[in-house]
Amino acid sequence: MNEPLLDQARPDAALFIDWDNLKVGLKDISRQPNVSSLLDAVNQRGRVVIARAYADWQQRANAFDPPNLYAAGIEPVYVPVRMHSGRTLKNSADVKLAVDCIDFLNTAPHLKTFFLVSGDSDLVHLVNFLRARGKRVVVVAVSHTLSQVLADNLDELLIYDVDIDPARQPEPISQNGRKPKHESEPPSEPENPQLDAAFEALSNLLRHRSNRVGSLFSWIGIQLGRRGLDHRVLGFERFKDFMQEAEKRGYVRILTKGLQDWAYLPEQYEQMTETELAAEEEETDEGTDDLQPTVAVSALDEDGQTHFMRYLVELEERSEYLIPPYIVTHLVRDSVLPSLSQSQLRSLVRDAMNDEILIASTHTVPHRSTGKPYHLRTIKVNDDHPLVTALTGKTPADSAVQAGQK
């Protein structure tokens, strides 16, 4: 693999993503696209001034991605799939992608590097065409979707699940959001004053920001860069490696939502439910419900719907009671649907309530001020809802018997 280019040597570049090729390829290995990791890798190799993703955004699997791609600086381009006898055939995203590349080749001569995110062998003709005209071509592909014909005709190849966003074993985290330390264990890392100073700068940056909902990796990277901190000088190939080391040492917690990575201070992480409650109250007070994204449970694809329903049932089993902010917080913390943003998850929980998947309930708790018993308005999973019974196998009669035994 070629070494990433230094900032002063980065040429102008364009990023073109065959979204279905990437998303389906990752789904096969139980992963989802992480735009933060992708942009981190390509921005090290070029100054990305054009970024586009191609897909049929009306398909259930992609329907909620466009707002999050826009938020990440990537333009979603609509390419309808071809249908035959009610069956979905291969879409023409690669054709539209190739046409756009040739268009920019002629209209934007300052572009020196073309990043193509796809493993499709059909792109080999485009790759050859671009290289013959003096352009550097870098392909990003999921390992098992990569065509060998395509791999043999490149300037650089990045395997998504190896070079961009390799699978990572989670570090054990204590209740206060920090990795537990054992006095008898020697320090696993040698002392590095420069690295310690960088982590302290990271903590101070997040601590003095008024943002209550965490900070995007992209914003953090820019702010640290302005302070003269470069993760590569500190020995990290990727900015995400630097952030993961900060998490390992207990400085931050990392969560993925809306296709991007966010960092929270440990105390912010612990206060997420309270923060979510405040955000929900603000929406209600300001009357902005109509402006919020609408995400319906029925609009999730089959896997997403099953995953969401199973999580609600499991969360109820391990929780004293449920309220909407608590559910949203744990959906984010546990990366249940990482392609959805926090506001989209909020909308999803609202829809579950409107559809009576979640129904009203009460729970007795001591009042914060007086200590007297207080009936808190809560919600619970509706065991009689068809989506719930399909998951649990319980009939309404079973639910009635179980309720009578409590």
| Same structural domain, 119 and 243 | no
- Same domain, yes or no: 12 and 138: yes
Strand 253-257: give its sheet, edge to edge.
215-216, 260-264, 253-257
Reference 139, options 223, 59, 41, 69; nearest CA is: 41
Q: How far apart are CA 301 and CA 62, in angstroms?
A: 9
Our count of domains for the chain comes to 3
Both 82 and 56 in a single domain?
Answer: yes
3-state DSSP assignment of residue 367: coil
The per-residue pLDDT for 176 is 46
Structure tokens at 70: 């826009």
Give the whole-angstrom CA distance, residue 136 versus residue 113: 5
Considering the domain boundaries, does residue 144 fall inside one?
Answer: yes
Tokens of 245: 């080391």
**Residue 169 maps to a domain:** no
- Structural domain including 85 reads 7-164
The answer to whether residue 171 sits within a structural domain is: no
Give pLDDT, residue 209.
82
CATH number at 131 reads 3.40.50.1010
Question: pLDDT value at position 402?
Answer: 56
- CATH number of the domain enclosing 215: 3.30.420.610
pLDDT of residue 373: 82
Q: In whole angstroms, how far apart are CA 114 and each of 1, 36, 66, 103, 347?
A: 16, 18, 22, 13, 37
361: β partners: 378
Same domain assignment for residues 226 and 115: no
Both tokens of residue 307? 């995953």
pLDDT, position 163: 94
The CA distance from 114 to 48, in Å, is 9
Supply the pLDDT for residue 281.
Answer: 65
Q: Please tell me whether residues 206 and 122 are part of one structural domain.
A: no
**Same domain flag for 12 and 68:** yes
Quick check: 150 and 174 in contact, CB under 8 A?
no
Average pLDDT per consecutive 10 residues, the chain (406 residues; last block may be shorter): 54 96 94 95 94 94 94 95 67 92 96 96 95 96 94 94 83 49 49 91 90 85 93 92 95 95 92 79 55 81 92 94 94 93 94 95 81 86 93 67 53
DSSP summary character for residue 322:
B
Answer yes or no: do 138 and 14 share one domain: yes
- Residue 369 has what pLDDT? 74
Dist. CA 370–CA 345, nearest whole Å:
34
Number of Cβ within 10 Å of residue 199's Cβ equals 18
